[in-house]
Structure 1
Amino acid sequence: MIAIAKNLYDYRELMLSLAWKNIIVRYKQAYMGLAWAVIKPLLLMLIFSVVKSFVGIETGGIPYPILAFAALMPWILFQESASEGVNSVVGNASLIRKIYFPREIFPLTATLTKLIELLISFLILAGLMAYYQMAPTWNALWVPLIILYTLLAALVISLVGSAINVYYRDIGMALPVLLQIMMYLSPVIYPLSLVKQRLLEDQAAGSWSDILYFIYTLNPLAGIIDAFQRTMLQGLPPDLASLWPGVLLTAILLPISYKLFKTAESHFADVI
């Protein structure tokens, strides 16, 4: 682990250059530029709010628009980090053919680049909290760890996905669909408390309820979104019971994903 960190540190200037290139390319011919980082979560928040007005979703007294926006922030960070990470190696084919450097720099840089858009979303969240007269507490200090956890979860998909995408481009086509399905399996539109109530309290699935809730929380986004909402909007610490299954799964899969990436790396220049 120390050797990996040192290796990446040695190429920090390249990572900064690639990060800047990613930002320029993404918004170069976009008339509204970084404004799209604002429009996307706001538009989704409005759509979810309209849906909520028809179906009714218990929010525990928190205004639904800000609850939805707080769910969308880590979700969009994860979704776009994973999407760009999976396509990062193929997207830099010309550079891979020219010189050697650690190829994991591509998915890692693609993931870290999304932090700029996240900072913009934090400004919007601050405005919404001021509007709804909500103030953060010291529990907001958990947020950097939650964001780090989100990036690591995205990196699991980015590393293995980008390696597979070099050999089978289908993964790049299938990923948006899979992530869309994953959104509905994560507490983005609805809060985790609703799932907990139905499964743990109401035992809606009978004897399978506890097992199904555990499987649900294996999805890292379940604990991440709930923890972000609790720490920022409710002034509460993260619910460790909903966090640990996803943390454990991520801790197991991340080194496996990295190992698979490094195994496939030696043939990238030949195949790509």
Structure 2
Amino acid sequence: MNGLKELCAYRELIAVLAWKNIAVRYKQAYLGIAWAVLKPVTLMLIFTLVKSFVGIDSGDIPYPILTFAALMPWTFFQESASDGVNSVVGNTALIKKIYFPREIFPLTSVVTKLVELGINFLILACLMAWYGMSPSVHFLWVPVIIGYTVLASLAVAFAGAAINVYYRDVGQALPVLLSLLMYASPVIYPLQLVKDKLLVQQAAGDWSGLLYTLYTLNPLAGIIDAFQSVVLRGQPPDLGAMVPGVMLVAVLLPFSYLYFKRAESYFADVI
């Protein structure tokens, strides 16, 4: 509670740093804020091309919009976690000058990406209009799903930012590891394909149920499937697919934050 009160007291600093991150990122970019949507749109087109050769079953939902809806939370998580891990090292001058809660840096990274996520929602709305789709009442789940994604990002960012102060390889390796994690998340393919293989067809025999649980321990598995369901399918989230990831984040986030707080006293000396 003391930490929350302290963060509230520095809320103006969070807003200023978030705006600075946005300004620095796009100030001298010719396309400006358009870069925020270029990555998911480009990946959507690439995956759609791959799908034409591989033949991934997307059910009743057109594959391009299904993939774009998967890429939105995935890109938000990947970039929030990556920027959060590098946020402390990237603000060395501020850390050495004045005191304020150092967790502001990872939090600012997440707030910055929320702005870009909002822009992607506009693209998603255009795609839904193009395909003649409209949101249902289950769209009200979206803030909860985004909030869960924020917590999952912070669980990585807090511990990663503290470790990166001492071992700079972490900041370089994390984007690569997260890119690999994308293939273990239902981005290119829907979660229903994994469920059919393991829970219906029992493709791994007696290990099928355990493998499915391990798969859904990845928080992004439940997040992406839930986002697609509430936005595109007009269905509530599959809570069974979300519970393992929620439990993992609930365990990791407090430990990640406590580790960050223990390490922050030495940031100025090490950096």
Q: TM-score, normalised by structure 1?
A: 0.99
User: How far apart are 1:3 and its partner, in Å?
Assistant: 1.7
Matched, 1:19 2:18: yes
| 2:70 aligned residue | 71
Which runs of 5 or more structure 1 residues have no equivalent in the other structure?
none
CA distance in 1, matches of 2:87, 2:244: 29
| 2:29 aligned residue | 30
CA distance in 1, matches of 2:52, 2:130: 20
Which runs of 5 or more structure 2 residues have no equivalent in the other structure?
none
CA distance in 1, matches of 2:3, 2:243: 25
CA distance in 2, matches of 1:8, 1:164: 22
| 2:194 aligned residue | 195
| 2:156 aligned residue | 157
| 2:180 aligned residue | 181
Q: How big is each residue's C-alpha offset from its partner over 1:156-183, in whole Å with a ceiling of 9 and x where there is no partner?
A: 1100000000000000110111001110
Q: How big is each residue's C-alpha offset from its partner over 1:131-166, in whole Å with a ceiling of 9 and x where there is no partner?
A: 111110010000000000001100011000000000
Structural RMSD (CA): 0.6
Counterpart code for 1:234: R
Q: Tell me the secondary structure at the aligned position of residue 122 of structure 1.
A: helix
Matched, 1:115 2:114: yes
Q: Tell me the secondary structure at the aligned position of residue 39 of structure 1.
A: helix
Counterpart code for 2:34: A
Matched, 1:249 2:240: no
CA distance in 2, matches of 1:264, 1:208: 40
Q: Tell me the secondary structure at the aligned position of residue 30 of structure 2.
A: coil
User: How far apart are 1:39 and its partner, in Å?
Assistant: 1.4
Q: TM-score, normalised by structure 2?
A: 0.99
CA distance in 2, matches of 1:38, 1:211: 37
Counterpart code for 1:85: G
Q: How big is each residue's C-alpha offset from its partner over 1:18-62, in whole Å with a ceiling of 9 and x where there is no partner?
A: 001110111122110101112111110000000100001111111
CA distance in 2, matches of 1:21, 1:234: 37
Counterpart code for 1:248: M
Runs in 1 of length 4+ with deviation above 2 angstroms?
none
CA distance in 2, matches of 1:38, 1:264: 35
CA distance in 2, matches of 1:28, 1:261: 31
CA distance in 1, matches of 2:28, 2:95: 25
Matched, 1:234 2:233: yes
Percent pairwise identity: 69
CA distance in 2, matches of 1:40, 1:178: 18
User: How far apart are 1:110 and its partner, in Å?
Assistant: 0.5
User: How far apart are 1:256 and its partner, in Å?
Assistant: 0.2
CA distance in 1, matches of 2:242, 2:3: 27
Please say which of residues 27-36 and 138-147 is displaced more in the overlay. Answer: 27-36
| 1:142 aligned residue | 141
Q: How big is each residue's C-alpha offset from its partner over 1:215-266, in whole Å with a ceiling of 9 and x where there is no partner?
A: 0000000000000000000000000000111011101100000000001100
| 1:94 aligned residue | 93
